[in-house]
Amino acid sequence: MSQPIKIKNALISVYYKDGLEPLVKFLAANGVQLFSTGGTEQFIRDLQLPVTAVEDLTGYPSILGGRVKTLHPKVFGGILNRRALNQDQEQISQYEIPEIDLVIVDLYPFEETVSAGGTPEEIIEKIDIGGISLIRAAAKNFNDVVIIASKDDYAGLLEQLEAQNGATTLSQRKAYAKKAFHVSSHYDTAIFNYFNTEEPLPVFKQSVKQAKTLRYGENPHQQGIFYGDLDSMFTKLNGKELSYNNLVDVDAAVSLIDEFDAPTFAILKHTNACGIASRDSVLQAWTDALACDPVSAFGGVLITNREVDLATAEEINKLFFEVLIAPSYQQEAIDLFSTKKNRVILKRNNVELSTKQFKTLLNGVIEQDKDLIIEGPDQMTTVTEKAPTASELEDLHFANKIVKHTKSNTIVLVKDGVLVSSGVGQTSRVDALRQAIEKAASFNFSVQGAVMASDAFFPFPDCVEIAAGAGITAVLQPGGSIKDADSVAKANEKGIAMVTTGIRHFKH
């Protein structure tokens, strides 16, 4: 039946009543019979509008503490009957079932209760049974029935009904059905994932309500969409919308900065740190981070774990950058950055991040735990005759944090709490080391006395020999090669210290 259908009877039972009043008043004013339950019924009565309790329709009271109210043939028969099918019409006439043309139902706040730390009993009681059944039934019968499963659609439906003399079109009903099935599938996914924590089934289920269409993807010819709630993660204080590549870099920046407790500034390009320093003040951390590679810093993503004051902002303002992230800003710093409208200034909010990662791969999805391990001095085993000094151990820890967040194969050189240089994304570890040494030299940085960290073991002693020749004094690697002894022997021969951690940090 494709022609508009005028609403005669409506079932309304909602948890959230925000914005419901204008719609209910319109329905009542246009002669629609209203059926309702519990708090929604009382809400309608308080508006001085006529309403029929579902209990009066079914002849049964709400039972089991409210667990069973609407699960009855007189309700579901009214929703599911097909107007064009004579057999259905004969049966609803026989059993005195009213045709329900509009269902307005939302669901108990299951996710909100879980997020708020509800008890197991409270969470279980927020698993909606009647509501989810009403939504699915009305959406299934969209040919004849309108389903509104979210308060976000109250105003839109009211506008349509006002313009169409209280009727809806098939295309409108089908659109609402699509939204309703989105609501129900998201709800069921949240419930499944809540249960699927202990001895989890090997099943991949994710559902994200929020979506933001990006200007494009990695390149202008690719479409891009971000699924998630960016507004909870960041407060944007200035600038244009984040791009696909911005978001990838921002994700890498957040993961990196969370490794550090001291005042730290990091500069990233293409997800890799091109500058990072920990210092006593955020200004000095910025100054030393920028000095690591001022060329690559141009157009980068900047992040710090401290408030950005005006003095630091004035120095940062001298550089062209894409995005700056900090936990807070002095107002004068915001005013300064706002003089250039396209620069994105983000205040990071306190949001718990997932411990899982996933991405599409071939004809499926690959998922893993995030790499949440970082080995400090206590987890470093000295394997050479010479042990690292206390300051070298601190620098090795610092370098290890950077290695963990740098594309493999990678070598990171650090001295005095500053990234000196790194070799990134190379096909051999020797190439990564040579790149790091040459890059340091190009900026007139001496690697004499620097430490070196590698994301994986050395298959041959060549990297140790090259490092020693450049003046590097201590080396960190996970170990595990069948030729570890060769690398240790070379370190002993060259008089440098080496520690192993037992943990590899590949990043592909």
- pLDDT 10s digits, 279-321: 999 999 999 999 999 999 999 999 999 999 999 999 999 999 9
3-state secondary structure of 217: coil
Phi-psi region of 204 (alpha: psi -120 to 50; beta: other; left: phi over 0): beta
Cα 175 to Cα 156: distance, rounded to the nearest angstrom: 12
What is the chain's mean pLDDT, rounded? 94
Mind telling me the catalytic residues?
A: 140, 270
Cα 139 to Cα 150: distance, rounded to the nearest angstrom: 13
Helices (H), 345-483: 390-404, 429-442, 462-470
Residues 6+ apart with CB under 8 A from 94: none
pLDDT of residue 95: 87
Which of 109-118, 386-395, 428-437 bottoms out in mean pLDDT, i.e. has the lowest? 109-118
Cα 85 to Cα 194: distance, rounded to the nearest angstrom: 41
Cα 355 to Cα 370: distance, rounded to the nearest angstrom: 5
For the record, the structure tokens of 433 come out as: 């080391």
**Which residue has 């003089």 as its token pair?**
339
Residues 6+ apart with CB under 8 A from 383: 479, 484, 488, 498, 499, 500
pLDDT band at residue 1, thresholds of 50, 70 and 90? very low
Establish how many alpha carbons lie within 13 A of residue 300's alpha carbon, considering only the half-sphere containing its beta carbon: 26
Q: Which of 202, 209, 196, 99 is nearest to 149 (CA)?
A: 209
pLDDT of residue 356: 92
Q: Are 34 and 49 in contact (CB under 8 A)?
A: yes
The pTM of this model reads: 0.87
Q: Which of 78, 124, 151 is nearest to 70 (CA)?
A: 78
Q: Which of 250, 240, 233, 261 is nearest to 353 (CA)?
A: 233
pLDDT mean over 165-191: 95
Tell me the one-letter amino acid at 103.
Answer: V
pLDDT at 400 over 80: yes
Cα 102 to Cα 8: distance, rounded to the nearest angstrom: 8
pLDDT mean over 427-449: 95
pLDDT band at residue 59, thresholds of 50, 70 and 90? confident
pLDDT band at residue 38, thresholds of 50, 70 and 90? confident
pLDDT of residue 396: 98
3-state secondary structure of 346: strand
pLDDT at 256 over 80: yes
pLDDT at 342 over 80: yes
Cα 324 to Cα 426: distance, rounded to the nearest angstrom: 28
3-state secondary structure of 477: strand
Cα 330 to Cα 375: distance, rounded to the nearest angstrom: 35
CA angle 208, 213, 217 (to 5 degrees): 105
Q: Are 476 and 455 in contact (CB under 8 A)?
A: no
pLDDT at 466 over 70: yes
pLDDT band at residue 2, thresholds of 50, 70 and 90? low
pLDDT band at residue 71, thresholds of 50, 70 and 90? confident
Percent over 70 (pLDDT), the chain: 100
Report the chain's C-alpha Rg in angstroms. Answer: 31
pLDDT at 444 over 80: yes
For the record, the structure tokens of 72 come out as: 């009855």
pLDDT mean over 22-47: 94
Q: Are 127 and 191 in contact (CB under 8 A)?
A: yes
Q: Are 408 and 508 in contact (CB under 8 A)?
A: yes
pLDDT of residue 60: 82
Compute CA 183 distance to the chain's CA centroid, rounded to the nearest angstrom. Answer: 19
Cα 138 to Cα 141: distance, rounded to the nearest angstrom: 5
